[in-house]
Amino acid sequence: NFERVKAQLKARLGNDVYSSWFGRMMIAETSRGLIRLSVPTAFLRQWINSHYLDLINELWKQGDPTALKVEIVVRSTTRSTAPSIEDERPAARKPERNAPAGSTTPTPSYQRAEKATPSRLNGAEQPGKQAVLGSPLDSRYTFGSFVEGPSNRVAFAAARAVAESSSSALRFNPLFIHASVGLGKTHLLQAIAAEAIRLKPNARVVYLTAEYFMWRFATAIRDNYALHLKEQLRDIDLLIIDDMQFLQGKSIQHEFCHLINMLLDSAKQVVVAADRPPAELESLEPRVRSRLNGGVALEMATPDYSMRLSILRQRYETAASEDPSLNIPEDILSHVAQAVTGSGRELEGAFNQILFRQSFEPEMSIAWVEEVLGNVYRAGEPKRVRIEDIQRIVARHYNVSKTELLSNRRTRTIVKPRQVAMYLAKVMTPRSLPEIGRRFGGRDHTTVLHAVRKIEGLSGADNTMAQEIELLKRLIAEQA
């Protein structure tokens, strides 16, 4: 019955939509009329639940009258043993990392968008038509609340120029911003939108996630108003697309390419964010990638200590303005800024834990904070694999020294381990190609990309190579 339901979904929704949402759906369990289907990420489950669950239920019951209910569950993602190369691809891995355990997942923008009433923001200029084009903005995400520092200064300046549509902004078209999860992409993008609207209330500004863009097109095509949607999109001044790494499907990309070509040709501003630079958006069609590469690509890195402290102070001020009884001493904040070295999202998680804990245990001390943070980490993300660990373990495995591994020597006995290590750094850590290049003795990102392709090719063609890679992955995961 599962195969039949899948075939019907594909027939109804078309290949593109089908493979975006159901390509990785599996059957988990059927018992006493309850059918559990599993998908790899919470995001997919949410999406399928809100858009397709009724349809799936209906299709399932057509072939199996004893069925009572279909449920979508998220597959366990613990891959302690031999993760397949396919599973570890960044594109497949990202969504899970987007929803760290212990923090509440924000309502996805597409859901908020659907409930939204048409605003001046998103298409109120055309009353009566399919008004809501973009997703509503989170009012907390402004330039004022964005903490600037060495790791994001350039991106921040470019964002301001774009929002103010200053003449220098012409050089940043399209403006492409990339950074790992939690480093402020969404915040910055929504701040651009908010500021552009504040300065020019009549400007047609649209902020969308790539997923929402896909969904809008997919449903527009299904319901025969694609033309109308395209007309509306043609009519905007500033298009902002978030989480570009999730754009999938040939025909959707074709539409996207068309759209940004048209906007760029008429000198309308386009801003795009993703978790990696354009060249690494491997699921994108080459021409979309090259179009995105045509402007400026700027990276945001992890915040330094003083930025982290500023972010925490700002959170604290906001929280204290809502709850005057709140009192977190400065030394506690600085301790947290020192201890939590990751993204803005991790800081937020730590801060929320402290607020929560303080509500029933107001006496704070450093030891108290240590304990709270310990809980954050234990409940939080799985242990991070570090590039140094990969280098150490790969060097040992091939019996070369780490110095040789990072050197410029080109003998075969060293080139292969080096390429394997760079490949593993790419698939086992969230680091970007340029960053990996830097950590491998200052190599260029194209060298890293070449190594990744090479090892992918080798392990695809050669079973022993594939096994060797799996073995190394396991060693690294265990010993890191």
Residues that bind ligand ADP (CB under 6 A): 145-147, 152, 179, 181-187, 311, 344-345, 348
Which is closer to Mg ion, CB of 253 or CB of 343? 343
Which is closer to ligand ADP, CB of 44 or CB of 273? 273
Residue of this chain nearest to Mg ion (CB atom): 186
> What CA–CA distance (Å, rounded) separates 28 from 71?
10
Query: Which of ligand ADP, Mg ion, none lies near 210, with the C-beta cut-off 5 to 8 A by kind?
Result: none
> What CA–CA distance (Å, rounded) separates 303 from 150?
8
Which is closer to ligand ADP, CB of 177 or CB of 458? 177
178 and 215 in contact (C-beta within 8 Å)? Answer: no
Chain residues binding Mg ion by CB under 5 A are: 185-186
How many helices, marked H, and strands, marked E, lie in the chain?
Answer: 21, 8
What is the full DSSP assignment across 305-320?
Answer: HHHHHHHHHHHHHHHH
Q: Is 186 annotated as a binding residue?
A: yes
DSSP annotation of 471: H
> What CA–CA distance (Å, rounded) separates 364 from 415?
53
Residue whose entry in the numeric block shows the structure tokens 């939509």: 17
Which is closer to ligand ADP, CB of 3 or CB of 322? 322
Q: Residue 471 CB, nearest distance to ligand ADP (Å)?
A: 33
Query: Which of ligand ADP, Mg ion, none lies near 132, with the C-beta cut-off 5 to 8 A by kind?
Result: none
Query: Which of ligand ADP, Mg ion, none lies near 100, with the C-beta cut-off 5 to 8 A by kind?
Result: none
Query: Which of Mg ion, ligand ADP, none lies near 83, with the C-beta cut-off 5 to 8 A by kind?
Result: none
Query: Which of Mg ion, ligand ADP, none lies near 146, with the C-beta cut-off 5 to 8 A by kind?
Result: ligand ADP
Which is closer to ligand ADP, CB of 122 or CB of 180? 180
Query: Which of Mg ion, ligand ADP, none lies near 181, with the C-beta cut-off 5 to 8 A by kind?
Result: ligand ADP
Residue of this chain nearest to ligand ADP (CB atom): 344
In three state form, how does the secondary structure of 205-272 look? EEEEEHHHHHHHHHHHHHCCCHHHHHHHHHCCCEEEEECHHHCCCHHHHHHHHHHHHHHHHCCCEEEE
Which is closer to Mg ion, CB of 160 or CB of 185? 185
> What CA–CA distance (Å, rounded) separates 200 from 453?
46
Q: Residue 50 CB, nearest distance to ligand ADP (Å)?
A: 21
415 and 450 in contact (C-beta within 8 Å)? Answer: no
Q: Residue 149 CB, nearest distance to ligand ADP (Å)?
A: 7
> What CA–CA distance (Å, rounded) separates 346 from 381?
10
Q: Residue 20 CB, nearest distance to ligand ADP (Å)?
A: 21
Q: Is 182 annotated as a binding residue?
A: yes
Query: Which of ligand ADP, Mg ion, none lies near 90, with the C-beta cut-off 5 to 8 A by kind?
Result: none
Q: Is 184 annotated as a binding residue?
A: yes
Hey, is 130 helix, strand or coil? coil
Phi and psi at residue 295, in whole multiples of 5°? -105, -120
Q: Residue 265 CB, nearest distance to ligand ADP (Å)?
A: 29
Q: Residue 318 CB, nearest distance to ligand ADP (Å)?
A: 10
Q: Residue 190 CB, nearest distance to Mg ion (Å)?
A: 9
Paired tokens of 344: 């803005």
Paired tokens of 417: 């381990």
DSSP annotation of 276: S
Which is closer to Mg ion, CB of 185 or CB of 426? 185
H-helix or E-strand spanning residue 72: strand 69-74
Residue of 156, 157, 263 lying closest to 205 (CA atoms)? 263
Detail the residues annotated as belonging to a binding site.
182, 184-186
Which residues carry a binding-site annotation for ATP?
182, 184-186
